[in-house]
Structure 1
Amino acid sequence: MLAVSTRTFVLVLVACALFAGAGRVRAGVSLGADSVLLPGVGMSGMQADINSAPDGQGLQLTLSANQADIPAMGWRKLGVTLDGALNRDEVGRWVFEGALRLKGAPGGALTNARLHMVADDSANTLELSITQDKASARIALPIDQTTHAQITLKDLPAGWLNGLLSTVWSGHTTTGRVDADLALDLLDDGMQAAGQFAFDGMGFDSPGGKLAGQKLSASGRLGLGSRAGSASIDLDASLRGGELLLGPLYASLPSHAVQLSLATRSQKGSLAIPRLRLTDPDALQLEGELAFNANGDLTQLQLDRFNARLPAAYDRYGKGWLRTLGIDGLLGAGEVSGQVGMNAGGLTAFALQTSGLDLAVAQGRLGVTGLHGALDWSATEDRPVTKLGWRALQVYQIPNGAAEANWRSRGGTLALEKPLVVPVLDGQLRVQSLSFKPAAASGERLQTSLALTQIDMGALCRALGWPEFKGTIGGAIPSMRYVDDRVEMGGGLSLNVFDGFVDITRMTVSQPFGNAPVLTGNIALRQLDLALLTSVFDFGSITGRLDGALDDLRLVAWKPAAFKSTFTANDGGRISQKAVNNLTAVGGGGIAGGLQGTVLKIFKTFGYKRIGLTCVLKGDVCSMGGLGNAKDGYTIVEGSGLPRLTVVGHQREVDWPTLVRRLQAATEGGGPVIR
Structure 2
Amino acid sequence: MQWPGVQLEAVRLELADDDAGGVRARLAVGAADVPALGWHRLGLQLEGRLTRDLQRRWWLAGPLKLTGAPGAALADARLSAVVDAQANTLELDLAQGATMLHAALPLDQPSHAQFALASLPVAWLGGVFGARPGLQGQLDAQLALDAGAGTVRTAGTFDLHGLGLAWRDGHAQGIDGSGRLELEAGDGTTRLELEAGLHDGRVAQGAWGAELPPHPVQIAATARFAAGQATLALLRVSDPDALQLEGALRWDTQGRLDEMRIDRLQARLPAAYRRYGRRWLAATYGLDDLRTAGTFEAALDWRGGGLHALAVRGQGLALADVDGRLDVAGLGGALDWHRRDERPATTLAWTALRWRDFAFGPVETRWRSHAGLLALEAPAVVPFLGGDIHVQALAWRPQPEAGQPRLTATLAFTGIDLGAFSAALGWPRFPGILGGAIPALRWVGDRIDLAGGLSLHVFDGFVDVTRLALSAPFGPHPELAADLALRGLDLAAFTSVFDIGHISGRLDGDIQGLRLVDWTPVAFDAYLHADGGGQISQRALDNLTALGGGSTAGGLQRAMLRWFKHFGYRRIGLRCRLADGVCRMGGLESDADGYTILEGSGLPHLRVIGHQERVDWPTLVRRLQSAAAGGAPQVR
Q: Shorter-chain-normalised TM-score: which range?
A: over 0.9
SS at match of 1:657: helix
Residue 10 of structure 2 is matched in structure 1 by: 45
Identity of aligned residues (%): 48
Q: Is the 8 A contact 2:36 2:187 kept in 1?
A: no
Matches within 5 A, 1:187-586: 187-206=148-167, 208=168, 210-246=169-205, 249-322=208-281, 325-326=284-285, 328-329=287-288, 331-334=290-293, 335-360=295-320, 363-440=323-400, 443=403, 444-586=405-547
SS at match of 1:595: coil
In structure 2, C-alpha distance between the alignment counterparts of 1:618 and 1:245, rounded to whole Å: 41
CA shift in 2, pair 1:328/1:264, >3 Å: farther
In structure 1, C-alpha distance between the alignment counterparts of 2:280 and 2:19, rounded to whole Å: 68
Deviation, 1:341, is: 1.9
SS at match of 2:135: strand
1:479-530 deviation per Cα after TM superposition (whole angstroms, max 9, x unaligned): 2221110111111111111111111111212212323333222100011111
CA shift in 2, pair 1:519/1:227, >3 Å: same
1:332-390 deviation per Cα after TM superposition (whole angstroms, max 9, x unaligned): 41222121221232322211111111224694323322211111111111111111111
| Matched letter for residue 114 of structure 1 | R
In structure 2, C-alpha distance between the alignment counterparts of 1:472 and 1:211, rounded to whole Å: 51
Q: Does 1:85 align with 2:49?
A: yes
| Matched letter for residue 605 of structure 2 | R
1:121-168 deviation per Cα after TM superposition (whole angstroms, max 9, x unaligned): 3332222222233221111112122111111111222222334x24xx
In structure 1, C-alpha distance between the alignment counterparts of 2:551 and 2:134, rounded to whole Å: 77
| Matched letter for residue 654 of structure 1 | V
Q: Select 1:62's aligned residue among 18, 23, 26.
A: 26
| Matched letter for residue 495 of structure 1 | L
Structure 1 stretches of at least 4 aligned residues deviating more than 6 Å after TM superposition: none
Deviation, 1:219, is: 0.6
Residue 91 of structure 2 is matched in structure 1 by: 127
Q: Is the 8 A contact 1:332 1:357 kept in 2?
A: no
Q: Select 1:144's aligned residue among 108, 120, 135.
A: 108
1:406-453 deviation per Cα after TM superposition (whole angstroms, max 9, x unaligned): 111111111111121111222222222211111126531111222222
444-453 or 361-370: which moved more? Answer: 361-370
In structure 1, C-alpha distance between the alignment counterparts of 2:319 and 2:220, rounded to whole Å: 30
Q: Is the 8 A contact 2:285 2:474 kept in 1?
A: no
246-255 or 267-276: which moved more? Answer: 246-255
| Matched letter for residue 615 of structure 1 | C
In structure 2, C-alpha distance between the alignment counterparts of 1:172 and 1:320, rounded to whole Å: 23
Residue 8 of structure 1 is matched in structure 2 by: none
Deviation, 1:258, is: 1.0
SS at match of 1:542: coil
The normalised TM-score by structure 1 is 0.88
CA shift in 2, pair 1:292/1:484, >3 Å: same
1:448-484 deviation per Cα after TM superposition (whole angstroms, max 9, x unaligned): 2222222223333443333222232222222222111
CA shift in 2, pair 1:472/1:98, >3 Å: same
Residue 601 of structure 2 is matched in structure 1 by: 640
1:59-102 deviation per Cα after TM superposition (whole angstroms, max 9, x unaligned): 33333333332233333333323333333333333333333333
1:604-659 deviation per Cα after TM superposition (whole angstroms, max 9, x unaligned): 22222222222222333333222234671233222233443332323333333332
Deviation, 1:396, is: 2.1
SS at match of 2:126: helix
SS at match of 2:406: strand
| Matched letter for residue 258 of structure 1 | V
Q: Is the 8 A contact 2:141 2:159 kept in 1?
A: yes
Q: Select 1:619's aligned residue among 580, 588, 600.
A: 580
CA shift in 2, pair 1:271/1:63, >3 Å: closer
In structure 2, C-alpha distance between the alignment counterparts of 1:653 and 1:162, rounded to whole Å: 64
Alignment coverage as a number of residue pairs: 629
In structure 2, C-alpha distance between the alignment counterparts of 1:650 and 1:62, rounded to whole Å: 96
1:557-577 deviation per Cα after TM superposition (whole angstroms, max 9, x unaligned): 333232221111122222212
CA shift in 2, pair 1:71/1:267, >3 Å: closer
Residue 634 of structure 2 is matched in structure 1 by: none
Q: Is the 8 A contact 1:428 1:455 kept in 2?
A: yes
Deviation, 1:196, is: 0.7
Q: Is the 8 A contact 2:589 2:595 kept in 1?
A: yes
- Give the unaligned 5+ runs of structure 2: 632-636
The normalised TM-score by structure 2 is 0.93
| Matched letter for residue 80 of structure 2 | H
| Matched letter for residue 51 of structure 1 | A
434-443 or 493-502: which moved more? Answer: 434-443
Matches within 5 A, 1:30-41: 36-41=1-6
Q: Does 1:605 align with 2:605?
A: no
In structure 2, C-alpha distance between the alignment counterparts of 1:412 and 1:664, rounded to whole Å: 51
| Matched letter for residue 10 of structure 2 | G
